[in-house]
Amino acid sequence: MILNAGIFPNVSFSAFIPYRYILNEKVLFRGQNDNQYEGGLYSREAYGIGDIILQMSYQLNPLKGHFPVLIGAGVKLANGKINAVDKYDNRISDNLQVGSGSVDPVFSLYTNEPIGSFMFSTGAFTRISSRENIYGYKYGNELHALTNLDYIESDLFFGGVQLYYLLTTRDTYQYGKIARDRGGKSVFFSAKMGSKITDDFDLEIIFQKPVHQDLNESQLTSSYSIQIGTLYRFTL
């Protein structure tokens, strides 16, 4: 869920409140896990509210009506739970937890420009990991960059395409030891389609497919992902 409110002219406040459901399944060999010695399907799951991001943004208009620039700075909280356990009551891996366990600064830069019946937009978002959590695990820094071209002419339907770049540095655990299977570069292409169900309520579906991935060691990747989102506008 994203909350956004204007505070002063050119100044806005936003809050990103994610709900995460993480399911990891793998097949164990006989003897691989003492709790499930015979092997078979082993599932781990975690769910709940993840780390909330709070951000203040300021809009600049250096080109006088074209390409307004939105500069944001804020903080990622550590409210997400980091103590999910498997069915044998063993704490699951940090990268499968819904929270990170650390408070980190975040920064963003965004601009857009209408072009006929389309809206062109581009932006970047970064998270800088400032410290380890109580278990000695530290998530790698992240850089997200995206470019969108959206059709905005219709009062009922909208859609577009997106190119999304993600750079993640390696995580570390046990106070500095490198997590070999974390970090890398990815480029995703997305097709978006949505409907303005009412004047205040939008529904959007995003189909995302990786087109380039250069990841460290043996990371699992998905062939595609489908995201469903909603937007509700309200006034105070």
User: In sequence order, which residues have a C-beta less than 8 Å from that of residue 4 and are 6 or more positions away?
Assistant: 12, 13, 14, 15
Assigned CATH class of 51-232 = mainly beta
Mean pLDDT of 212-236: 78
pLDDT tens per residue, range 83-137 = 999 999 999 989 889 999 999 999 999 999 999 999 999 999 999 998 899 999 9
- Which helix (H) or strand (E) segment is 168 a member of? strand 157-168
Look up residue 102 and give its amino acid: S
* Terminal CA-CA length for the chain: 18
Structure tokens at 118: 């389309």
Instruction: Report pLDDT digits (tens) over 141-152.
Output: 999 999 999 998
Q: Would you place residue 236 in the very low, low, confident or very high pLDDT band (cuts 50, 70, 90)? A: low
Asked if residues 161 and 208 have their Cβ atoms less than 8 Å apart, the reply is: no
- How high is the pLDDT of residue 23? 86
In the structure, what pLDDT confidence band is assigned to residue 70 with cuts at 50, 70 and 90? Answer: very high
Residue type, 215: L
